[in-house]
Structure 1
């Protein structure tokens, strides 16, 4: 006995993609603010997925309603083709001082069709200018952004057998930026599962001994060594002397997020507070063996060396073995006008009495000019 058999087949449509990125540095940000709203500056061209692109930077937004914002757009340069629009997804990130995307300032666009030359997609309200100017991402009047682009280069159909063989190559998925910092920041903010408490300048702080220990060799020795029993279960407070509560709060924030909190308030007041906080945090970083934080504070203080701070900053650099900061102070004091002003300013007498070897070194430097 025989019977007719029906054939059944399956196929899959797959997308092939190509990815690339381009970093655009704005050197001389304050000068670009003089452009009118809607005026854009363009990056050099770059190629991703066989297509030519550039970034458009609008320092005063794309329209009057967004004149307080910085706008960025990804622009396609290619002429139209028979293949139709270019399908692409993109993200634009403000880069921190280490050249990594700042999670708070990373924006991801949806998959978009770029229909021809000058077709563009992006973020008209990418970042408020005052937020950039208050942030640590603007340094020496410069900042940088990175644009990541993924282009669909081909759609193809495969039968089930071929598709199964290619299963190890996943379809395109837009991966969001890292959020580990945010989760650890939430852990510090909520205090959930905290197992150690600190009392600093009359204020109590809850923390997690394992997080502190993995970030600081000093905390590791204290919390899993001599102070382990005293701090067990959070029943007792570990008292920390000679530190302001706000300094310890910022230290904890850095321990959990590997970043310092963004300052708030007027720019002038923020700069003064930034320098003072950097001095205190440098001492705390040295105390707890946190070298990266110490270098960050050095870098901040190098940008705040002036007549009113040079003497105290030089003494701080000597006491905490900050060679880069010490050199920045010496470079500032090479100017006779700056040297005379610093000698006459408050703080130089203390430097002379507390660090006489520094005065001798400074004299040798000046004599060798």
Structure 2
């Protein structure tokens, strides 16, 4: 039987690097086929050198130590060749599987110099790779001067529109509370709201005037969802009896489920990042189930890492963490 080029590359192991210049800087696409084979041959996988901002850069992947609980964790690093002076770089790292689906995304600033010439950009649990292959898309921009950007007016104006309810033409009944909003804004930000408000049979005046009942969502979560849809930011969380951190985590859990339900992907990523910082022995199993149910791979990978670390420290028992071990393998 003939072997496809992709299968052959995955069997042998291959790394390719493509660099393109963009309006903001440079975009580096590193494709890794046959990850496990490459890691067997060496402790790290390097990209080709590429030029950005008149300097030579490289990316490499460090695999987890084979005896460690994080053996399946791959860490992604960007480095600068022999910098003579301090260099500030802005990067956006996107990890994709072989099908081109986004696994996770992150962005940040880093300052490199002769003493620190590389920085970790992110990590991925490799046991969820599709066909032992993945792509790294890294957008790099060398920053000559960082200035405070003027906050955009649009989120502030739309937030004011939501608060004033001027021109609101849609109402929602959520847990005994009524919320007014603007159909065009909701439809522009969410395909689910687009179908709900402008789908077949929804264009009549009677249908538009009828309140939409939303079940399974807390009123405060729906209020925060509307705030994000209008302003692209999260509101301040009101502190209750559970304390500030507990309230923030509870809100992030509710918003993650709501964002998945209404198709607000950027909010899912933000909630996933918030919940990643709250994973411990008490919450790891529940958050792993939440990530499974609502398609949040970055949160799932972080939960898996924490659970593996915990499993390495405890003896076999009837603990909740042990009961999930089969699902991690």
Distance 1:266 1:333 in 2: 29
Could you tell me how far apart the structure 2 residues matched to 1:261 and 1:192 are?
Answer: 20
SS at match of 1:204: strand
- Give the alignment's TM-score, normalised by structure 1: 0.46
User: Is the alpha carbon distance of 1:237 and 1:340 closer, same or farther for their aligned partners in structure 2, counting shifts above 3 Å?
Assistant: farther
Q: Return the offset for 1:337.
A: 6.8
Which residue, out of 360, 365, 368, partners 2:326? 360
- Partner of residue 229, structure 2: 255
Structure 1: which 5+ residue stretches go unaligned? 1-96, 101-145, 150-174, 353-357, 365-369
User: Which residue number corresponds to residue 302 of structure 2?
Assistant: 328
- 2:248 pairs, out of 253, 262, 274, with 274
Structure 2: gaps of 5 or more residues: 1-105, 110-144
Tell whether the 8 Å contact from 2:202 to 2:208 is kept in structure 1 after alignment. no
Counterparts of 1:177 and 1:201 in 2: how far apart (Å)? 34
CA separation of 1:319 and 1:334: change in aligned 2, threshold 3 A: same
For the aligned residue pairs, the C-alpha RMSD in angstroms reads: 3.3
Q: Which has more radius of gyration?
A: 1
The whole-number CA distance in structure 1 between the counterparts of 2:235 and 2:266 is: 15
Equivalent residue in structure 2 for 1:241, among 211, 215, 220: 215
**1:283 maps to which residue?**
257
Structure 2 match to 1:305? 279
Tell me by how many angstroms 1:334 deviates.
2.2
Q: Distance in 2 between matches of 1:342 and 1:257?
A: 48
Aligned to 1:148: 147
Provide the residue aligned with 1:186 in structure 2: 160
Counting matched residue pairs gives 189
- CA distance in 1: counterparts of 2:265 and 2:185, whole angstroms: 16
In the alignment, is the contact (CA less than 8 A) between 1:196 and 1:231 conserved in 2? no
**Structure 1 counterpart SS, 2:179:** strand
Q: Is the Cα contact below 8 Å between 1:253 and 1:261 reproduced in 2?
A: yes
What is the alpha-carbon distance in structure 2 between the residues aligned to residue 266 and residue 202 of structure 1? Answer: 20
C-alpha deviation, 1:229, in angstroms = 4.7
**Separation of aligned partners in 1, 2:279 and 2:241:** 17
Q: Distance in 2 between matches of 1:179 and 1:308?
A: 41
**How far, CA to CA, are the matches of 2:326 and 2:194 in structure 1?**
39
Secondary structure of 2:147's partner? strand
Which residue is equivalent to 1:23? none
Taking a change above 3 Å as real, the CA distance of residues 282 and 176 of structure 1, as seen in their structure-2 partners, is closer
Aligned residue number for residue 202 of structure 1: 176
Corresponding residue SS for 2:168: coil
Q: Secondary structure at the match of 2:243?
A: helix
Q: Which residue matches 1:112?
A: none
**Does residue 212 in structure 1 map to residue 211 in structure 2?**
no
Task: State the secondary structure of the residue aligned to 2:303.
Answer: helix
How far apart are residue 237 of structure 1 and its match?
0.8
Shift of residue 310, structure 1, vs aligned partner: 0.9
The CA deviation at 1:148 is 2.7
CA contact (8 A) 2:272 2:299 kept: yes
Q: Check whether the contact 2:196–2:202 (CA below 8 A) recurs between aligned residues.
A: yes
1:215 and 1:284 map into 2 onto residues whose CA distance is 14
Distance across 2 between alignment mates of 1:239 and 1:284? 14
State the alpha-carbon separation in 2 of the partners of residues 278 and 342 from structure 1.
32
CA distance in structure 2 between the aligned counterparts of 1:196 and 1:330, rounded to whole angstroms:
41
Cα offset for 1:361?
A: 3.1
Query: How far is the alpha carbon of 1:266 from its aligned partner?
Result: 8.8
List structure 1 segments (4+ residues) > 6 angstroms apart after TM superposition.
Answer: 97-100, 341-345
- 3-state SS of the aligned residue for 1:247? helix
| Structure 1 residue 177: Cα displacement | 3.5
Deviations 1:143-200 (A, max 9, x none): xxx9538xxxxxxxxxxxxxxxxxxxxxxxxx95322111100000010000010000
Deviations 1:55-100 (A, max 9, x none): xxxxxxxxxxxxxxxxxxxxxxxxxxxxxxxxxxxxxxxxxx9669
Distance 1:281 1:291, change over 3 A: same
1:238 deviation in Å? 0.4
- Residue aligned with 1:243, SS: coil
* Cα offset, 1:230, TM superposition: 7.2
